[in-house]
Structure 1
């Protein structure tokens, strides 16, 4: 069985982002907000420069965030989560049709998001390690989000594990969204959605 959150680290930043609403000047949140602004502006998230602008040491910044990869992962997940939420809020329908409709629109929006495109284009190997590896907070959160969506919208056969299905769906989506960086093939989010539809149909009661 695949644990959706097995890769999620327990850094002070992660706990602040996923816990109760932090105080306005909680320092790990300040680091996240500034890193997110830089990322959206197309600026490299350099930990030394980030620490200097925040007025803290690099050691403190790393203690808050764990690593540069984890910090950027939190930033990327915040972007993906907003796009997924917006798309799901606007979508109509229910069940498998709703899931595939939301994925179809969300994957295209994620792929076309300029800051993400620029980040992946600058160093594809490094970017994909942050976005798609098993240590990635992005992948872990997306598996969790997918599992929750499946749980709410479809009934699965008794022999189908929810977390495993969510994991497979996420891996399929990653493979087609970033296929140009992985295999050299053009991105094909429509193919990902078709395969996901088949997977869910086969897993439904």
Structure 2
């Protein structure tokens, strides 16, 4: 992902905020077995398949213990795969909104991101297949995903609204967390409230929260 905003790679912000043992292994290149298992898991996920540790082990010609040693448990692996797919989606949203500025830029970027997630078939397949696990990984601090997304949102707030948004009426971490919860509420509305996910509803909420006319 090659998108930058003010010289910073938007995809790197989240990883810096919540590094994991697996993300470090993948980044340093010193663990080819971890990379091999991760790449196969990612391919399986994008193809609409279920990531299964036993299946990975069989495909790689090793035992399950080896796979766990390389990449951690299934939640660890799923979290990294999910975030790896969020990064290029954030990058696309960043590029698509580059002509905007300020609060309008933040609202449009987050709307673009939520809309793309809603439209991703392999992602919706995962939500339908494992709803409880999906919510735990995507919407709680038990997983690095929400922490990374919140850090990214905070960086966007600070970049486009400054360190005292709306004349200091709210601080950047709190505003970022609210934006993430809005994003989650409309992206996973089917799992949370039995409603249809809606990028347009997310857009309206983002613009209202960010005081975009």
- Deviation readout 1:33-75 (Å, 9 max, x if unpaired): 1100000111211101212322343223223322111211111
Determine the structure 2 residue equivalent to 1:182: 192
> Shift of the alpha carbon at 1:167?
1.6
Determine the structure 2 residue equivalent to 1:142: 149
> Shift of the alpha carbon at 1:134?
1.5
**Quick one: distance in 2 between partners of 1:117 and 1:130?**
14
User: Given the alignment, which residue of 73, 78, 81 partners 2:87?
Assistant: 81
Determine the structure 1 residue equivalent to 2:117: 110
- Flag the 1:159–1:27 CA change in 2: closer, same or farther, 3 A: farther
- Deviation readout 1:2-54 (Å, 9 max, x if unpaired): xx88x94632x22134x45x26x722121111100000111211101212322
> Shift of the alpha carbon at 1:184?
0.7
**Quick one: distance in 1 between partners of 2:196 and 2:96?**
28
Q: Could you state the TM-score of these two structures normalised by the residue count of structure 1?
A: 0.84
CA-atom RMSD in angstroms: 2.4
Determine the structure 2 residue equivalent to 1:61: 67
Determine the structure 1 residue equivalent to 2:24: 15
User: Given the alignment, which residue of 78, 90, 101 partners 1:94?
Assistant: 101
Q: Do the aligned residues in 1 keep the contact of 2:153 with 2:176 (CA within 8 Å)? A: yes
- Flag the 1:134–1:144 CA change in 2: closer, same or farther, 3 A: same
Q: Could you state the TM-score of these two structures normalised by the residue count of structure 2?
A: 0.81
Q: Do the aligned residues in 1 keep the contact of 2:46 with 2:122 (CA within 8 Å)? A: yes
Q: Do the aligned residues in 2 keep the contact of 1:8 with 1:136 (CA within 8 Å)? A: no
User: Given the alignment, which residue of 126, 129, 134 partners 1:122?
Assistant: 129
- Between Structure 1 and Structure 2, how many residues are aligned? 195
